[in-house]
Chains A and B, each alone.
Chain A
Amino acid sequence: MKLTLWTYEGPAHVGAIRIAASMRGVHYVLHAPQGDTYADLLFTMIERNGERPPVTYTTFQARDLGGDTAEIFKTAARDAHLRFAPDLMLVGASCTGELIQDDPGGLAEALELPIPVVPLELPSYQRKENWGAAETFYQIVRRLTPGTDRPELTDNVPTCNILGPTSLGFRNRDDVVEVRRLIESLGIKVNVVAPLDASPADVARLGAAHFNVVLYPEIAQTAASYLKRRFGQPMTSVTPIGIGATEDFITEITALAGVARPAKHRDASRLAWYSRSVDSTYLTGKRVFCFGDASHAIAAARVSRDELGFNVVGLGTYSREHARDIRTAAEGFGLQALVTDDYLEVERAIRDLQPELVLGTQMERHIAKRLDIPCAVISAPFHVQDCPARYSPQMGYEGANVLFDTWVHPLMMGLEEHLLAMFRDDFEFNDTAQPSHLPRTSTAPATAPPPAETQPAVAMTETPPAAGLITIAVPSWSPDAEKELGKVPFFVRGKARRNTERFAREHGLATITIETLYDAKAHFSR
């Protein structure tokens, strides 16, 4: 039993729902109690899908447990087939369904439906969402590519499949567009993209490509490895996030396709120039903490160091399946990887490291918000606001532009930071001064707070920081040290305060003097 406050990944069957919801013509009959239907809102609310995910939940109840849960399952499967007329049906159980051992696969087989039925055995008490998605995709691919013959490769243009994009994957919708454009610009044809928007018939054509692009190893690795064994299709190993990785990706796929590798083009992405422009000088050495699924976290670390000039101080993932990859990557940064799905542990690590920027999931965004550290989201799980209306891929050249904008934006930009420091003593340029463009009437806020609005459900639990979360005694500030702290520009004052207190604690000082303040400054300066 493990105490869990917030989870990075849902249960394995949610991974299966993601695959079903990504595809066309697939329906999932899930043996599950009614509460499990909450999964629908992930798709309809976070991703604003205009359709319910194609899932029929049997919603058995306690009174059914004695006898006819199997019958309930069969009825549900039969009705779902009639109503939704899918081309392929997935059948399986959620955690509770697994415990009642009704064998959905066997029951569905007995119905003799005229379509392929793929039974899913997802061990709910061991595995999680990404594993469930990968396994489901693999089972579908295996089922739809029977026999031993590889379909004929008809034209002489090199072709590939793009594997791994899914519903509720971070920016997958846009990454597909970007990567497809990139691949096609190299004279390579895209045979099938799956699972996103693929039909079972599309999946059946996977063999008719020279190689597979593994866009998200978390989802596509299992299926791609199978296709390699099955059809001898090689697969890519680079996730094209950032300019360097995009270049490596181009090198890799042009080699796989046997086409000429075009010369690198300096201005293919604005990131390179923006990063060199003088304003970005101030980004140098910013301490950044990267956490997410393994592929996004590793990519973020590389872009941070090589393309933005940050200093990566922490790197980790919640995905134990990819612990090895992240450990290897972390070594390259002289770091020890943090592999945990316990968000309290991540919070502790961030608090200890005091980074200047956090690149993480929505969990890290909340941690960062609490600790007052700028943050950008780079990976699932994400929130409705991370599903933007505009085109904003993470991959390829345009993706690199998006990374520059979204990661640098939360930081104070160079010139701005410089000016703030220069004018910090100016009478209207400190935190107690009112904005000069507002009428200077009283010391009260110039505008009344907006009237309290009804909060929607997705904004429900704005709990104030819990007492007892941080229980370390705070050293006291002497009046002159407090005064000196007041001279520190307000936008770094919080950090100076924290650092000084931490320094005092670590050195067993009960009182902070001006000396302590500057000792701490020297200690923490790079």
Chain B
Amino acid sequence: MTTLATAPRTQTQRTVLRERGQHEVFCGLTGIVWLHRKIQDAFFLVVGSRTCAHLLQSAAGVMIFAEPRFATAVIDERDLAGLADANDELDRVVGELLDRRPDIKLLFLVGSCPSEVIKLDLSRAASRLGERHGPAIRVLSYSGSGIETTFTQGEDACLEALVTAMQPTEKAPPAASGPDQLLVVGALADVVEDQFRRMLEDIGIANVAFLPPRRNSGLPTVGPGTRYLLAQPFLGQTAAALERRGATRIDALFPLGVEGTSAWLHAAARAFGISPDTVERVIRAPAARARAALDKWRSELEGKTIFFFPDSQLEIPLARMLSRELGLVPLEIGTPYLHRDHLEHELALLPASAILSEGQDVDRQLDRCRDAAPDLTVCGLGLANPLEREGFTTKWSIELLFTPIQGFEQAADLAALFARPLDRRTALKV
């Protein structure tokens, strides 16, 4: 099924291809692969099937050097017989797990398709288990199921659960009722987080916190003085939860490339009443460095066409960065879900010629990709080799989640990620 709809809010009246068919995207469970690395004392227990366990293992790339901080409580036929049973079983498994891993301070019960279809109430289980094992261990729940979440939406659901656990900020004295905290939201590589923290502090924002925190004990507070700045474009539910807790969103481009990172930092400063000159002073050197580094890639990438299969929801900010800073030409930009509010500025900066598609019918999209014959195709792992085999040059999209790409210092790394497959194609004589 394909419908053409007109985007209501973009000035360009861009049409969006809406597709409903086979999706070829991971489910939200996949987020565990990077989230467990980010929150170092958290454990992710999926309540699901053998399929869920196998997905995690395959997405994590089976690099098993140690006991991982994620696992699956695999539902079996006995659990399907009666629900009371399943809750007891879950309690037992959690007990077993916490005995093995005394280092765990934050336990996520992660819902899956099977747990949802049999209506296993994990939020109730989380509060029950939280009472039993708390306060030393915090127990939260969220859904990473494929019927509810697509790939990065798993992180959204996880952060939303963390928001519900955040303590309210101590009431500020009525005189100082302006913004009192900047909350950067979305998992970033530690190195990127440190760079952003340094710059934001240099700009003069004193109280900067990050969500997710690196450790359970570092979970920030939230309140009406909280201004939050999204570092990732897929956090719709988390944003809504923060708003419910009184926080206010700072509207900005996403911090990809020089333009995005500059705009992102400027927006933060503006919200805290800091002058643009101050920001410019702080970012002058790193921005110039990044521009110089990008220049080296521009000549190589300029004019190359690019086609995005829907995957991480990073597609739109990426296409913006690649087209405006490196001269790539996006042909189709697929996204699993189009969050218009958060992407308004991004959409306005996309070249008018690019087709935007939301949702997926993978076979039709493959047909369109073949017709478009792009120089570079961004897609998931299941499609990459088959497309290469057909002669297309591809870039695995999942790498964009595992690699530090945000901020000035990483702008050229981002360019390199896209240039490498093209270089390789040129280099190979076989």
- Show the binding face of A for B, using Cβ within 8 Å: 1-7, 9-11, 13-14, 33-42, 44-45, 48-52, 56-62, 65, 76, 79, 83, 94-96, 99-100, 123-126, 128, 344, 362-363, 366, 369-370, 381, 383, 454-469
Asked if A366 contacts B93 (CB within 8 A), the reply is no
B58-101, CB under 8 A of A: which get 1 and which 0?
Answer: 11111111111101111111011000001001101100110011
| 6 closest residue pairs by CB, A with B | A35-B27, A40-B382, A35-B146, A50-B389, A33-B146, A458-B61
Per a CB cutoff under 8 Å, which of A62, A99, A383, A464 touches B62? A383
Q: Are B64 and A6 in contact (CB under 8 A)?
A: yes
- The distance from the CB of B401 to the nearest CB of chain A, in whole angstroms, is 9
- Whether B114 is near chain A, meaning CB under 8 Å from some CB there, is yes
Interface centre among A38, A52, A62 (most CB of B within 10 A): A38
Q: Given A34-B23, A461-B60, verify A454-B65 contact (CB < 8 Å).
A: no
Q: How far is the CB of A84 from chain B (nearest CB, A)?
A: 9
Given contacts A4-B71, A65-B117, A369-B65, contact A457 B396 (CB under 8 A): yes
29 contacts between A and B (CB under 8 A): A5-B68, A6-B64, A11-B49, A13-B51, A33-B145, A34-B25, A38-B55, A41-B382, A51-B386, A52-B383, A57-B22, A57-B23, A57-B24, A96-B117, A96-B146, A99-B80, A99-B114, A123-B77, A124-B51, A125-B75, A125-B76, A125-B79, A128-B50, A362-B64, A363-B64, A456-B61, A457-B59, A457-B381, A458-B62
Of all chain A residues, the one with the shortest Cβ separation from B396 is A457
Known: A3-B93, A35-B26, A454-B399. Is A461-B51 also a contact (CB below 8 A)?
Answer: no
Shortest Cβ gap from A20 to chain B (Å):
15
Provide the bound-state CA to CA distance between A38 and B53, in Å. 11
Q: How far is the CA of A10 from the CA of B62 in the complex (A)?
A: 13
- Is B55's CB under 8 angstroms from A366's CB? no
Q: Tell me if A44 and B402 are in contact (CB < 8 A).
A: no
A96 to B102, CA, bound (A): 33
- Range for the number of chain B residues in contact with chain A: 35 or more
* Given A34-B27, A95-B49, A461-B147 contact (CB < 8 Å): no
Closest to A7 in B: B53
The residues in B between 270 and 324 inclusive whose CB is less than 8 angstroms from any CB of A are none
The answer to whether A456 and B68 touch across the interface, beta carbons within 8 angstroms, is no
- Give Cα distance in the complex from A65 to B103, angstroms: 39
Q: How far is the CB of A289 from chain B (nearest CB, A)?
A: 17
What's the nearest-Cβ distance from chain A to residue B311, in Å? 11
User: What is the 8 Å Cβ interface bit string for chain B, positions 366-396, against chain A (1 contact, 0 not)?
Assistant: 0000000000000011111110110000001
A2 to B74, CA, bound (A): 5
In angstroms, Cα B50 to Cα A95, docked, is: 8
- Verify if B113 is at the interface (C-beta below 8 Å from A): yes
Interface centre among A14, A383, A458, A467 (most CB of B within 10 A): A458
Would you call A50 and B385 a contact (CB within 8 A)?
Answer: yes
* Min CB gap B94→A, angstroms: 9
Q: Spell out B's residues near A (CB within 8 Å).
A: 21-30, 33, 37, 47, 49-55, 57-69, 71-77, 79-80, 86, 89-90, 92-93, 96-97, 100-103, 113-114, 116-118, 145-148, 150, 363, 380-386, 388-389, 396, 398-399, 402-403, 413, 416-417
**A125 touching B23 in the complex, CB below 8 Å, given contacts A44-B384, A99-B118, A457-B402:** no
Set of chain B residues within 8 Å of A95, measured between Cβ atoms: 49-51, 113-114
A370 to B399, CA, bound (A): 26
Q: How many angstroms between the C-alpha atoms of A381 and B57 in the bound complex? A: 12
CB distance B63 to A460 under 8 Å? yes
Q: Are A3 and B402 CB-contacts (below 8 A) given A33-B145, A34-B23, A34-B25?
A: no
Contact partner of A36 among B28, B55, B77, B388, CB < 8 A?
A: B55
A469-B66 in contact given A34-B27, A95-B49 (Cβ < 8 Å): yes
Are B66 and A370 in contact, CB atoms less than 8 angstroms apart? yes
**B113 proximity list for chain A (CB < 8 A):** 33, 35, 95-96
How far apart are the CA atoms of A381 and B64 in the complex, in Å? 13
Contact in complex: B383, A459 (CB < 8 Å):
no
User: Taking CB as reference atom, which chain A residue is nearest B89?
Assistant: A1
Bound Cα distance A322, B103 (Å): 38
Cα–Cα, bound, A123→B77 (Å): 9
Q: How far is the CB of B400 from chain A (nearest CB, A)?
A: 10
How far is the CB of A130 from the nearest CB of chain B, in Å?
A: 12
A34 contact set on B, CB distance < 8 A = 23-27, 146, 150
Name the contact of B386 in the complex, choosing from A2, A44, A454, A463 (C-beta under 8 A).
A44
B173 to chain A: closest CB distance in Å? 43
Q: Is the CB of B29 within 8 A of A35?
A: yes
Most buried by A among B53, B92, B388, B403: B53
Contact yes or no, B54 A457, CB < 8 A? no
B77 neighbours in A (Cβ, 8 Å): 123, 125-126
Q: Which residues of B contact A52 (CB under 8 A)?
A: 382-383, 386
- Chain A residue nearest to B64 (CB atoms) is A366
A99 to chain B, nearest CB (A): 4
- Give Cα A318–Cα B51 distance, bound, in whole angstroms: 17
Residues in chain A near residue B93, CB distance under 8 A: 1-3
